[in-house]
Chain A
């Protein structure tokens, strides 16, 4: 499963991308506090049933909150369960079941206070439930997505301090530990052996029924700690075909359709509400910096100046997105937004190409249909490269094994990523120890900046360290993030409360407890 987030992953199913990429999975966040521009209109009112169509994973789907991978699985899970924290719309962690967190001076012990919340069966959420949930996620042999993020916790040394306070001991200083608590799949289930066929969580809705690959029904939890949802009932339906989702919405079979193409959105914007969730998917190139030809920084810089970002937004993203500045995480917390925006500069690109000794070179360019737009971007960029006499030989790889293939081999690849905090992007992809380091960026000085950032409680100092890491990547990194696209969802005219600022997979995305029917 690709990640769902991936737009397609099975693309059909959407998966998110996660770990790395994007598509697949997905990831994260939401913001709490300021819910962005929700589609407005009047006072919220209670009642009614909302049916939402997502792409899914077929008859093999499960309800295990620790196995979430597809967008629909995340939507289902967030209806039933909570995490200690969730990502806000700027990817900063927002407290959820954790009411507050407080690190020790050395950032290796974190004291988390739980809010007063109860599971659907009436039991309070207690530290033992949190510890048991995390133990289940990291148990040996598991491939659960949150495992790597939570493995920083020294679980045997962590303990409950009273009814609502947990003390986590970490294996290393980690100033942004709440990011790990908000990571995809880090949901809190009741301790003991959870019965996942009739899931009991602490989320805004309680479980009613589930047919894998078909339908999922939940009803309002009046006791929800964050306020009872407006909807009486929520039904998530599966339709892997985008045209079918749109037809179901137009035919009034559903009130919400997830993941539309820009073309459908434009065609139907008169009859339904179109919500373009910004900053949801990053599109780029990955150049392997440890081998020829991209071990010459001049060649990487030549590509930085070659790419016509505006044209890619128009042709690949169909205008539904914004240009990137070669850095991941546009407008997220700690993003270096003050760096001058790069644009196409063919003279400079040519000069750099010459300096790299790569004039007239031919370079293989890997791409595939693993996620929407990868192939189109590769073809467009290879076309742009002709202007400086560089031949990028586009090779279409297998879509099912693409992410694993480009991790191992090749030198230049189309890339994409779902939303995640800068910290996760760096720790998963850019450290010497990162397991999906697809640009082979291994720099001890860069690693040190990251570890220093995680070892300081001084917010200003941390922001400054992030700025330095990004400057280094901007100058000579292996990723070229040329654009960031919107995630498009549509709803019927009477649906209110859909947050239009929340990137896919953040707190306010698919947050049906705040949606109401006018």
Chain B
């Protein structure tokens, strides 16, 4: 187990460094550097030259990559090209709303989808199962931006139950603004996760060892929750990890529709402004998150269902 974890951590570090270098060259390949973008529709050659000089874009790409990697090792991701702030500061500010949204969504997602999955699996093919299965399937097929626009129109603009956007207020001082975005964020992952859990539960309940513990005289509830569920959850953990990536990765559309100044918004702004240090800093954060979350998921899956893992 320890060896497995160490291997995975080392692999993760390599992955992050590769993503960093990859991002650097991809950004480098975008047409128009920061100077051209900043000059906009005023592409006076003298202005562009002055901007290049000021932004240090005259140095070679290799030079800038090496310098940046060296500083990044010390936790210094440099300065934004278009504003006076440091990349670290900028990312920290943008991360707070995204982490809050993602955390809240996860906190609700796990109990809700486990509950729904267990309920549906209770009587396979029963009426409750059919209702849950068909509605999750239906909801899953609605893209979240369409859902968001629909919900805002009905519940915010028409009925005025919730604020339509987070403009002019903060997520913490006015929690009502969280309701619609969290609801939209929950919809699709709840569908996919609860269906996975349902399938896992159905399989587990038919399995040899569950029949065995049932014969041993354990109560049906205990059989389901203590014995069938952990095995059913194991495959869902990886799916949950993917959901976390998706949440932390900005949920760009949701942030735009609800005007949440999170990582997705920061990334979109930085790409548009060719703000290379910010893009690179965000790439590191997102890559590290993905690696960390998947690592945790793999380890958790092993702990939950060692037999399944060993059988692979």
Contact = CB atoms under 8 A, between A and B. Distances in A.
Q: Do A and B bind each other?
A: yes
Interface of A: 1-3, 6, 9-10, 12-13, 15, 17-25, 51, 53, 57-62, 69, 141-143, 145, 148, 212-215, 235, 237-241, 243-245, 247-248, 250-251, 253-254, 370-371, 398, 400-401, 403-405, 407, 417, 435-436
Given A18-B42, A240-B256, A404-B39, A59 B50 contact: no
A17 B41 CA distance: 5
Given A24-B42, A243-B149, A253-B167, A59 B94 contact: yes
The 5 residue pairs across chains A and B that have the minimum distance between CB atoms: A401-B32, A60-B83, A19-B42, A58-B269, A21-B41
Interface stretch (B11-19, B60-68, B205-213, B271-279): B271-279
B123 interface: no
A59 B41 CA distance: 22
Interface in B13-54: 30-32, 36-48, 50-51, 53-54
Contact of A212 (B38, B83, B160, B270): B83
A370 B42 CA distance: 13
A400 B90 CA distance: 23
A248 B162 CA distance: 11
B71 interface: no
A70 to B, nearest CB: 10
Given A58-B265, A59-B266, A244-B256, A237 B40 contact: no
Contacts of A435: 44-47
A89 B112 CA distance: 58
19 contacts: A2-B40, A19-B44, A23-B40, A25-B42, A57-B82, A58-B265, A58-B266, A59-B80, A60-B275, A60-B278, A143-B51, A212-B83, A238-B261, A243-B257, A247-B165, A251-B157, A251-B163, A404-B36, A436-B44
A7 B183 CA distance: 32
B31 A10 contact: no
Given A143-B50, A143-B54, A253-B164, 20 more contacts: A1-B40, A6-B40, A19-B40, A19-B41, A20-B42, A21-B42, A24-B41, A57-B269, A59-B94, A62-B83, A142-B50, A237-B168, A239-B165, A239-B259, A244-B164, A244-B259, A247-B165, A248-B168, A403-B41, A403-B43
A345 B53 CA distance: 50
Interface residues of B, number: 54
A90 to B, nearest CB: 23
Contacts, number: 188
A13 B269 CA distance: 9
A240 B256 CA distance: 7
Contacts of A244: 164-165, 167, 256-259
Contact of A251 (B43, B164, B257, B261): B164
A51 B168 contact: yes
B70 to A, nearest CB: 24
Given A10-B273, A241-B259, A25 B40 contact: yes
A108 B45 CA distance: 28
Contacts of B273: 1, 10, 57-58, 60
Contact of A3 (B41, B44, B84): B41
B156 interface: yes
Given A243-B257, A398-B32, A9 B40 contact: yes
B156 A247 contact: yes
A270 to B, nearest CB: 13
Contacts of B164: 244, 247-248, 250-251, 253
B283 interface: no
A23 B169 CA distance: 29
A174 B254 CA distance: 52
Given A60-B275, A247-B165, A404-B32, A17 B42 contact: yes
Contacts of B157: 247, 250-251
A185 to B, nearest CB: 11
A496 B257 CA distance: 28
Nearest to B153: A247
A3 B40 CA distance: 6
Contacts of A240: 256, 259, 265, 268
B93 interface: yes
B260 to A, nearest CB: 10
Contacts of A248: 164-165, 167-168, 259
Contact of B80 (A60, A245, A436): A60
A370 B270 CA distance: 16
A10 B272 contact: yes
Contact of A401 (B37, B51, B163): B37
B247 interface: no
Contacts of B39: 143, 403-404
B152 interface: yes
A59 B85 contact: yes
Given A22-B41, A253-B168, A214 B261 contact: yes
Interface in B222-266: 256-259, 261, 265-266
A167 to B, nearest CB: 28
B44 A62 contact: no
Contacts of B94: 59
B31 A398 contact: yes
A59 B261 contact: yes
A253 B162 CA distance: 11
B75 to A, nearest CB: 19
A263 to B, nearest CB: 14
A253 B50 contact: no
A251 B174 CA distance: 15
B181 to A, nearest CB: 12
Contacts of A59: 80, 83, 85, 90, 93-94, 261, 266, 269
Contact of B41 (A6, A215, A247, A254): A6
Given A243-B257, A435-B46, A61 B40 contact: no
A487 to B, nearest CB: 16
Interface in B84-137: 84-85, 90, 93-94
Contacts of A400: 30-32, 36-37, 272, 274
